[in-house]
Amino acid sequence: MSCTPEPPEAVRRCRLRIRGQVQGVGFRPHVYALARSRGLSGWVTNDTEGVLAEVQGHALPDFLSDLVDRAPPLARIDDIRVEDLRVEPRPVGTVAGEFAILESRRAGAVATEVPPDAAVCPACLEELFDPADRRYRYPFLTCTHCGPRFTITGRLPYDRPQTSMAGFPLCAACAAEYHDPADRRFHAQPIACPECGPHLSMPVDEIAARLAAGEILALKGLGGFHLACDARNGAAVARLRRAKQRDGKPFAVMVAGLASVGAFAEADAGEAALLASIERPVVLLRKSAGAAALADGIAPGLPWLGVLLPYTPLHYLLFHEAAGRPSGTGWLEVPQDLVLVMTSANVSGEPLVIDGADAARRLGGIADATVDHDRPIVVRADDGVVRQVAGRPLAVRRARGAVPTPVRLARPVPPVLALGAHFKSTVCLTRGADAFLSQHIGDLDTAEGLRFFEEAVAHLRRLVGSEPVLVAHDLHPDYASTRYAETLGLPTLAVQHHHAHIAAVAAEHGVAGRLLGLALDGVGMGDDGAAWGGELLEVDGPRFRRLGHLDELALPGGDAAATQPWRMAAAALHRLGRTDQIAPRLAQHGPAAELAELLRRDLRCPPTSSAGRLFDAAAGLLGLCPVASFEAEAAMRLEGLVGVPRVQAGGWSIDADNRLSLLPLLESLIGRGAQEGAELFHGTLVAALVDWVRRAAEATGLRQVALGGGCLVNKVLAEGLIEGLAGCGLAVLTARAVPPNDGGLALGQAWIAGLRAGETGE
């Protein structure tokens, strides 16, 4: 460090163009406060491109570095452009020597972002539990650093009149905070108080009392309704489980704070950070012995539990009430007894309910009462789901808290719209190098699901504001998304399912070059019309080559095999020349003799190279989960049994056509104990896949491999592959912020379509 004082810098004037997530996050007040504290003059405003400012004075470089380094918690700066201007004797648009926040400018194309919803911030929590505060126990308190954003915003720019807070004119006290540059709520769009803001349809003490009495309530939250009940009340959980019978998915549970997690689940430092992050996703944690104190029906037969922390003031108030209304926030630092089941309020297979009247109608048979409020939800968003894999988060479901933050592509592409597949649907729209992936929409089997899909497309187009020149869809002609693509009157591009899975991972990592792709998935249509799903690809942007695939098993009875793992066990026995054993071994699960006959005569037994079905076959042979009550249940149960994966010597072979066969492994599972079998299956599968990819890397000279497909949410499989392939000196790319399953497919389709549109100049 030099002791010589720097010569005083000359007065400069700059125009700043700041792009990224800079609206609705307190960025203008941040610029304002920094400028004022440094005696700079000028102005700042929001427009359709982000934040625009002019500043004049000394020491602008320091101002600029603070602008970035001390940015507000919800801000994300993608780009700042600084342009030198002529120094004004009197700064334009304001009183000389002062700094002003000017009205938003609305003209021109929309090119900025609305932030994701964020959990209540620490400052708001202090107010929520401070009996002297005017927002004490107010369920809708929020400020610049927290609260609803995406789910209340219909269009840009993000300003109160464009949100569902438009119907709540600010009272004098709130207006004073809103206009006071020194206040935490300065220009915070969703702010409110008990005087002027939204209200619940039921008092908090009554909600808490009903939950304590074993009722199931439909609770309106940020992005939709939850069904909530006391997680320790076996009768209530059993009733909820019966009501959602067709849907055997595990329920998530909510606890007061990190201090309350340890009683029934294990969370390492990374998992704790995920739980407490402002996105507040459901985090899949390993159950501990204490989980036995929770009702059986929450996550039956699985070693994991989906846990989330409160993220709205109402959630916190339920725990506060149960704790006896303590003052301050200290009580959150000690374990609290209350555990709530918090599961998406939907009828099986349909989208989340967001409207009070709809809740009463569609959830009437499930919930004992509905807790509504008068702040409309403009856009649905389920809770996000993540799990820690290889020490880093991996999105299982990308939803509230993560949308609409864009994925930055390797380079700008023409605007394209991608429509995903059929299950776990999401859609994606690009603008330049930004790819905006929608929130989780769900399955497209129902009329409600399709309506949500169309709404999500329309909302994304309004928020992103780009006009697509090409529409990408799955190769499968019968998917509702494919048929929808054909109604848009735009050029379309059919993208092979597993190519899209690998492209999604490449897109997330900003990789544009040639690479190897290992897609381990359920079933997707291949170029040859067959049911692919265990694919080794060479991907070169918009093109790919199938280098090899898993050796096929039959899908006996077609689609039914996807939900009945015992059928895949039958297919495996048939391939092993043990067709005679199908009936004696599997008759208790279904029509095994008939199935054996179909297999013998090769009737209604299309072949599949699906890795997901290979997991089913293994589970079926081990007698685990003969019939699945939800997607991938067999694979989850199998994974859940693994302590230490072990490799079966000679468990696989690779033939001259580069087909990887695991038949020797499947044969060795027959008659084994479930845990031993699960460990052998995982260990051997990983070793076989690593061997397969290593050989392809040697043959092609490619040193980078992307792992995609729904099987990659399996932690044992993903961690084994990452370690094994890195051990071969390969660079391994895995899905992270975007799910490896079909929830990320639209991103891959968009990247492929964008590259294709760029080539043809469409």
Rounded to a whole number of angstroms, the minimum distance from the CB of residue 139 to Zn ion is 14
Contact 428, 747 (CB under 8 A): yes
Residue placing its CB nearer to Zn ion in the complex, 195 or 205: 195
- Residue by residue, DSSP assigns 180-218 as -TTSTTTT-TT---TTTS--BSS-HHHHHHHHHTT--EE
Nearer to Zn ion, 171 or 530 (CB): 171
- Which is nearer to Zn ion, 198 or 526 (by Cβ)? 198
Do residues 754 and 409 touch, judged by C-beta distance below 8 A? yes
Q: Which of 415, 434, 414 is nearest to 49 (CA)?
A: 434
CA dihedral 86, 90, 95, 101 (to 10 degrees): 0
User: Alpha helices of 625-744 — where are they, by DSSP H?
Assistant: 633-640, 663-669, 674-700, 715-727
SS3 of 295-359: the string is: CCCCCCCCCEEEEECCCCHHHHHHHHHHCCCCCCCHHHHCCCCCEEEEEECCCCCCCCCCCHHHH
Q: To the nearest whole angstrom, how small is the minimum distance from the Cβ of residue 400 to Zn ion?
A: 17
| 714 vs 616: CA distance, rounded Å | 14
**Shortest Cβ 149–Zn ion spacing (Å):** 12
**Omega before 468 within 30 of 0, i.e. cis:** no
The single-letter code of the amino acid at 169 is P
Nearest residue (CB) to Zn ion, 141 versus 345: 141
146 versus 463: smaller Cβ distance to Zn ion: 146
Whether the upstream peptide bond of residue 157 has omega within 30° of 0, thus cis, is yes
* 145 vs 574 by CB, closer to Zn ion: 145
Q: What stretch of H or E contains 611?
A: helix 611-621
CB of 193 to Zn ion, least distance (A): 3
Dist CA 697 CA 457 (whole Å): 39
Q: Which of 113, 135, 141 is nearest to 25 (CA)?
A: 113
| Nearest residue (CB) to Zn ion, 193 versus 717 | 193
The CA distance from 347 to 739, in Å, is 24
Name which of 127 and 742 has its Cβ closer to Zn ion: 127
The nearest distance, CB 334 to Zn ion, in angstroms, is 23
Q: Which lies closer to Zn ion via its Cβ, residue 196 or residue 583?
A: 196
Minimum Å distance from CB 364 to Zn ion?
34
Do 294 and 339 contact (CB within 8 A), yes or no? yes
Strands of the 470-474 sheet, one edge to the other: 407-413, 428-437, 416-418, 470-474, 492-495
Return the number of the residue (99 or 311) whose C-beta is nearest Zn ion: 311
Whether the CB-CB separation of 592 and 501 falls below 8 Å is answered with no
Cβ-based nearer residue to Zn ion, 143 or 721 = 143
The backbone torsions φ and ψ at residue 288, rounded to the nearest 5 degrees and listed phi first, read: -110, 180
DSSP 8-state code for residue 615: H
CA gap 733, 74 in Å, rounded:
27
Nearest CB to Zn ion, comparing residues 25 and 718:
25
Q: Closest approach of Cβ 221 to Zn ion, in Å?
A: 17
Q: Chain centroid to CA 365: how far?
A: 29
- Cβ at position 113, least distance to Zn ion in Å: 20
Q: Which residues, 6 or more positions from 169, have their beta carbon under 8 angstroms from its beta carbon?
A: 196
- Closer by beta carbon to Zn ion, 175 or else 209: 175
Say which amino acid occupies 615: F
Which residues of the chain form contacts with Zn ion (CB under 5 A)? 121, 124, 143, 145-146, 171, 174, 193, 195-196
First to last CA, the chain: 56
CB atoms closer than 10 angstroms to residue 474: 26
Q: How far is the CB of 267 from Zn ion (least distance, A)?
A: 25
Beta carbon of residue 632, minimum distance to Zn ion (angstroms, whole number): 37
Q: Give the nearest distance from C-beta 195 to Zn ion in angstroms.
A: 4
Cα dist. 272→107, 259, 260, 307 in Å?
44, 10, 11, 10
Q: How far is the CB of 202 from Zn ion (least distance, A)?
A: 21
Q: List all residues 6 or more positions away from 672 whose beta carbon is below 8 Å from its beta carbon.
A: 622, 680
Pinpoint the alpha helices (H) of 245-371: 269-276, 313-322, 356-362
The nearest distance, CB 293 to Zn ion, in angstroms, is: 33
Amino acid at 485: A
Nearest to 697 by CA among 719, 663, 727: 727
The CB-of-277 to Zn ion minimum distance in angstroms stands at 15
Instruction: Choose between 32 and 138: whose C-beta lies nearer to Zn ion.
Output: 138
The runs of H, that is alpha helices, within 244-351 are 269-276, 313-322
Query: What is the nearest approach in angstroms of Zn ion to the Cβ of residue 188?
Result: 8
Closest CA to 423 of 363, 362, 349, 314: 349
Name which of 145 and 244 has its Cβ closer to Zn ion: 145
**Residue number, 146 or 353, with CB nearest to Zn ion:** 146
Least distance to Zn ion, CB of residue 173, Å: 5
Residue where the block lists tokens 């004049």: 56
Q: What are phi and psi of 393, to 5 degrees?
A: -70, 145
Nearest-angstrom CA–CA distance, 492 and 507: 20
User: Which of 44/143 has CB closer to Zn ion?
Assistant: 143
Question: Closest separation between CB of residue 143 and Zn ion, Å?
Answer: 3
Nearest to 280 by CA among 102, 407, 146, 413: 146
